[in-house]
Amino acid sequence: MKTIAVEPGAGEPVVIEKPVPEPAAGEALVRILRVGVDGTDHEVIGGGHGGVPDGEDHLVLGHEAVGVVEDANGTDLEEGTIVVPTVRRPPASGSNDYFERGEPDMAPDGEYVERGIVGDHGFMAEYVTSPAEYLVPIPEELASLGFLVEPISISEKAIEHAYASRSAFDWNPESALVLGNGSLGLLTLAMFEHTLGYERTYCLGRRDRPDLTIDIIENLGATYVDSRETPVSEIPAVHEAMDFVYEATGVAPHAFETIEALAPNGVGALLGVPGSWEFEIDGGDLHREFVLHNKALVGSVNSHRGHFESAIDTLTALPEWFLEELVTGIYDLEDFEAAFENDDTTIKTAVEFSRI
């Protein structure tokens, strides 16, 4: 079968032929339909993140997948069921408490591998195997967009943790700011508008009009903020202070400017993963602001099965026009390179391995 993989240092994905995997006991065989591409894939390809499985010279890419159960292999799954696989798996050393209690997303370094990212092959293959417990069934009508369940689950978790941090008091957020107009930022902006009930939403980017993402932002009813004109720290003066800031840029100064962008009692969810980056801050002002206005910052990575299940509901609730505009390309295996292009006309792409 064909897989899309990257060899360390190559800097671009290639097709690698591999045998169709055999499911072990407790595993099902899944025929892959579509696999989305995101910023993490680009980081893995570029060598800035992730790593090949022990003893291998390549990593099969892909962690945003949707497939169909081809061989249930004695598990509780039914053949023909559409499923989305979760991403984290126990490390070679075996399972641990985080997996036992269904919270692999809270496992620290060394206590997990991530399919398609670090230490385990991903889902960009015609067939994959997985323990049934890591395959989340979704309704058949969501099959074509099922590759969005994983990225939405990332935001489900971040939002759950952010709300938890505000659960000790009566919090009634009305304004939300998304930092970053990539596919994750736009999906989250749509959640703030359509499933979380925020009254006023904003999305920060650095694009000139006309631009696809600005059109989507405005069609969602949100306000576009150009970071070249309005730095994050000045957003309260220019627009308003935000009850919720969702950071998906990986621009490290944004993590700290978020403290200034927040309204009293607000929370910032941080999701970016920058490299080393030294800069000066007025740490005294930020510290005081943090304390005197009861602000919170919450870092969040990965997601667990419960977040995938919430993401299915969210995907159902998002408007069709939005999802159509968000997905700018679905490419056959023969044209897979096109799915990895990343210009201003690309928002979200996926590679199609097979059809229902």
Q: How far is the CB of 111 from its own copies (least distance, A)?
A: 9
Residues 291-310 that bind its own copies (CB under 8 A): 291-301
Task: Tell whether residue 109 is a contact of its own copies (CB under 8 A).
Answer: yes
In whole angstroms, what is the distance from residue 41 CA to residue 300 CA?
18
Owner of token pair 């800069």: 279
Please check whether residue 171 is in contact with residue 235, taking contact to mean a CB–CB distance below 8 angstroms.
no
Task: Tell whether residue 101 is a contact of its own copies (CB under 8 A).
Answer: yes
In whole angstroms, what is the distance from residue 178 CA to residue 218 CA?
13
Q: How far is the CB of 280 from its own copies (least distance, A)?
A: 5
- φ and ψ at 160, to 5 degrees? -60, -45
Task: Tell whether residue 166 is a contact of its own copies (CB under 8 A).
Answer: yes
Q: How far is the CB of 172 from its own copies (least distance, A)?
A: 9
Rg for the chain, CA atoms, rounded = 20
Q: Is 286 annotated as a binding residue?
A: no
Question: Residue 316 has which token pair?
Answer: 């159902």
**Count of residues engaged in binding its own copies, rule: CB under 8 A:** 56
Question: Residue 5 has which token pair?
Answer: 């993989």
Q: Which of 24, 276, 320, 343 binds its own copies (CB under 8 A)?
A: 276
Residue 320, H or E segment = helix 320-326
**Piece of 59-67, 115-123, 249-257, 347-355 that binds its own copies (CB under 8 A):** 249-257
Q: Is 182 annotated as a binding residue?
A: yes
Q: Is 301 annotated as a binding residue?
A: yes
Task: Tell whether residue 167 is a contact of its own copies (CB under 8 A).
Answer: yes
Q: Which of 17, 57, 229, 278 binds its own copies (CB under 8 A)?
A: 278
Q: Is 183 annotated as a binding residue?
A: yes
Q: Which of 11, 46, 274, 319 binds its own copies (CB under 8 A)?
A: 274
Q: Is 177 annotated as a binding residue?
A: no
Owner of token pair 């659960």: 167
Q: Is 262 annotated as a binding residue?
A: no
Which candidate, 34, 38, 4, 13, places its Cα nearest to that of 348?
38
Amino acid found at 92: A
Which candidate, 345, 351, 348, places its Cα nearest to that of 322?
348
Q: Is 166 annotated as a binding residue?
A: no
**Piece of 74-82, 114-122, 261-269, 340-348 that binds its own copies (CB under 8 A):** 261-269
| Alpha carbons within 13 A on the beta-carbon side of 200 | 9
- 197/279 with CB nearer its own copies: 279
Q: Is 181 annotated as a binding residue?
A: yes
Task: Tell whether residue 169 is a contact of its own copies (CB under 8 A).
Answer: yes
Task: Tell whether residue 57 is a contact of its own copies (CB under 8 A).
Answer: no
Q: How far is the CB of 300 from its own copies (least distance, A)?
A: 6
Strand bridging mode 135-137 / 82-85: antiparallel
- End-to-end, the C-alpha distance of the chain in Å comes to 18
Task: Tell whether residue 196 is a contact of its own copies (CB under 8 A).
Answer: no
Task: Tell whether residue 37 is a contact of its own copies (CB under 8 A).
Answer: no
Q: Which of 255, 327, 330, 347 binds its own copies (CB under 8 A)?
A: 255
Report CA dihedral (145, 329, 193, 142) to the nearest 10 degrees.
-10
Please check whether residue 50 is in contact with residue 43, taking contact to mean a CB–CB distance below 8 angstroms.
yes
Q: Is 277 helix (H, G, I), strand (E, B) or coil?
A: coil
Q: Is 114 annotated as a binding residue?
A: yes
In whole angstroms, what is the distance from residue 350 CA to residue 35 CA?
5
For the annotated binding site, the residues are 40, 114, 150, 181-184, 206-207, 271-273, 300-302
For the annotated binding site for NADP(+), the residues are 181-184, 206-207, 271-273, 300-302
The residues binding its own copies (CB under 8 A) are 101, 103, 105-106, 108-109, 160-161, 163-170, 250, 252-253, 255-256, 263-265, 270-301
For the annotated binding site for substrate, the residues are 40, 114, 150, 302
